[in-house]
Structure 1
Amino acid sequence: MTNQTLILIQCRDAIGLVAHVSSIITKHQLNITTMREYVDDVNQQFFLRVVCNGISPNISDLEKDLQEHLPANATVRINPPHQKKLVILVTKEYHCLADILVRHFFKSLNASVLAIIGNYDRLQGFSEKFDIPFHLVSHENKTKEQFEAELIQAISPYDTDYIILAKFMRILSPSFVATFENKLINIHHSFLPAFIGASPYRQAHTRGVKIIGATAHFVTNDLDEGPIIVQQTKRINHSYDVARLITAGQEIEKAVLSEAIQLLTEDKVMLHGNKTVVFE
């Protein structure tokens, strides 16, 4: 977006909002190329994502004009940082991390991976092949509070936009989640809300399901119940044992997490309570 202006608006719904915003953008000599809006009629909330050709010479004046013509307490963001900064948390599974690092290496991720933090050292050698710092923060022989304090200490210097839990198999405390509010992105290996918690593929096999899936979502204090960003499914049949379910599921997990990261780095996801508005 080197020669574009991106505007994100979230506010109470009202008559004429699109007209007001369009008029203000025109006043500032910008040409709208994409405008996507959504109205939540139940909660009377308005969401807008606008891409314009050209760069506003005075973003503060543009923001002021928009705020003056929008309902009170409107959220207006203009030109958020284009390339997002990521920190990746891992445990032992490599498939999601590998997908992210390959995309990062070939510059198709639209984000910069600043560091990888693991509670085991199994993925350290692999991470270092991509010249990305790896920090080992073990949870063993520590209280949850001690472990999370060290985790926060490792993450904080990087001033990250998002923290990607790429199969990071630890349940995080409310205080940790609050420290990185709206920044924690998890990939869960089931089609939520089905099979919350551990061993979802084994749960799915026991239940005899005919569809498996994966879910990328924001992390909240409720386990695996945060706002959903992306979900995908795959049809299966009775011949799938647990091992085959896991193999098939890992392919879905990679695809879902990759799509979620892309949407986030393109500023196409807006939070709305325990839901998201996703301008795909």
Structure 2
Amino acid sequence: MAKHILLIEGPDARGLIYHVTAVLFNNRCNILKQTEYVSPDKRFYMRTEFENGTDLDREKILSELRQRIPDEQVKFRLDILKKKNIVVFCTKEHHCLSEILVRYMFSEINANVLAVISNHNVLQPFVSKFGIPFHYIDAEGKTREEHEAAILKTLGIYSPEYLVLAKYMRILSPGFVTHYPGKIINIHHSFLPAFIGANPYRQAHERGVKIIGATAHFVNNDLDQGPIIAQDTKDVDHRYSAIDMARDGRDVETRVLMKALKLVFADRVFIYGNRTVIL
């Protein structure tokens, strides 16, 4: 029996939950999980997971929802709960990529890894062990626009739903990001908004921090400023060198990225402005 996800967001109003559950009941759907949230500015969010014993008439349900909730500011999204098709980007560091690929091979991630793209070929032998296509797209001697055009051409082969930047050490241009709005997930080796940009562990060491961290976020047009999905930290002290921080930081990065992917691929993350709501 197929499971479905209904996501709703928009201005809060009386009776929203009643109308949604009534439509699902009338269409012989069985609600398995439901979570709601109303923000301080009175914006309503709801995630409903349900099953249906017959072929679901998606358009009929959406039409009935719109009849009951005619406010055009209320957005509906109805999908089958399924694995997301993704392409993973990497450069030279393997820790985040390897976690994704191992979990993928053991069906522990709700995604199909269609391919890996890199601006270096260092990790190609590793990726080949999983039987996943590896595309080495060198940036040397190319403008950023030329390099990204080559990447977009390759992505056209796969039509992924999400791009995962698993320690991809290049900044994507606003032009590139517009092709995948709200669909690019990055892991940043810092507890944002601190230590933005390059060499965060060196910055952290010089500042004498007492915690290090990592942040998974959606990519937008501002460097490391996109909506945050997940964060975590680890205590450190004066005995840690920048190298020690980077070593332990890799564990935090991997853990945070996998948490973020689990949330996003389960359709639990709403983007509103530069924030996320997670249900």
AA in 1 matched with 2:72: A
**Residues in 2 aligned to 1:3 and 1:141: alpha-carbon distance in whole angstroms:** 49
RMSD value over aligned CA atoms? Answer: 1.2
Aligned match of 1:220 = 220
Aligned match of 1:24 = 23
Aligned match of 1:67 = 66
**Mapping 1:192-271, distance limit 5 Å:** 192-271=192-271
**Residues in 2 aligned to 1:58 and 1:183: alpha-carbon distance in whole angstroms:** 27
Residues 86-137 of structure 1, C-alpha deviation per residue, up to 9 Å, x if partnerless? 1011111110001101001111111110000110000011000100000011
**Residues in 2 aligned to 1:115 and 1:20: alpha-carbon distance in whole angstroms:** 42
TM-score normalised by L of structure 2: 0.96
Unaligned runs of 5+ in 1: none
- Per the TM alignment, residue 81 of structure 1 is displaced from its structure 2 partner at its CA by 5.5
Where in structure 1 do 4 or more consecutive aligned residues deviate above 4 Å?
A: none
Aligned match of 2:34 = 35
AA in 2 matched with 1:193: P
**Residues in 2 aligned to 1:235 and 1:156: alpha-carbon distance in whole angstroms:** 43
Aligned match of 2:183 = 183
- Per the TM alignment, residue 54 of structure 1 is displaced from its structure 2 partner at its CA by 2.4
Aligned match of 2:119 = 119
**Residues in 2 aligned to 1:80 and 1:107: alpha-carbon distance in whole angstroms:** 18
* Identity, % of aligned positions: 45
- The structure-2 alpha-carbon separation of the partners of 1:116 and 1:57, relative to structure 1 and needing over 3 Å to count, comes to closer
- Per the TM alignment, residue 78 of structure 1 is displaced from its structure 2 partner at its CA by 1.3
Aligned match of 1:54 = 52
Aligned match of 1:15 = 14
- Per the TM alignment, residue 236 of structure 1 is displaced from its structure 2 partner at its CA by 1.0
8 A Cα contact 2:115 2:132, kept in partner = yes
- Per the TM alignment, residue 255 of structure 1 is displaced from its structure 2 partner at its CA by 0.6
8 A Cα contact 2:270 2:278, kept in partner = yes
**Residues in 2 aligned to 1:4 and 1:155: alpha-carbon distance in whole angstroms:** 29
Aligned match of 1:162 = 162
AA in 1 matched with 2:161: D
**Residues in 2 aligned to 1:126 and 1:5: alpha-carbon distance in whole angstroms:** 36
The range that moved more, 203-212 or 6-15, is: 6-15
AA in 2 matched with 1:19: Y
**Residues in 1 aligned to 2:195 and 2:7: alpha-carbon distance in whole angstroms:** 35
Residues 196-238 of structure 1, C-alpha deviation per residue, up to 9 Å, x if partnerless? 1001111100001111110000000000000001111111111
Aligned match of 1:144 = 144
- Per the TM alignment, residue 5 of structure 1 is displaced from its structure 2 partner at its CA by 2.7
SS in 2 for 1:215: strand
**Residues in 1 aligned to 2:233 and 2:186: alpha-carbon distance in whole angstroms:** 17
SS in 1 for 2:229: strand
8 A Cα contact 2:90 2:168, kept in partner = yes
AA in 2 matched with 1:9: I
Aligned match of 1:4 = 3
TM-score normalised by L of structure 1: 0.96
**Residues in 2 aligned to 1:180 and 1:204: alpha-carbon distance in whole angstroms:** 32
- The structure-2 alpha-carbon separation of the partners of 1:40 and 1:117, relative to structure 1 and needing over 3 Å to count, comes to same
**Residues in 2 aligned to 1:187 and 1:38: alpha-carbon distance in whole angstroms:** 26
Aligned match of 2:83 = 83
**Residues in 1 aligned to 2:192 and 2:12: alpha-carbon distance in whole angstroms:** 30
SS in 2 for 1:34: strand
AA in 2 matched with 1:45: R
AA in 1 matched with 2:48: V
Aligned residues between the structures: 277
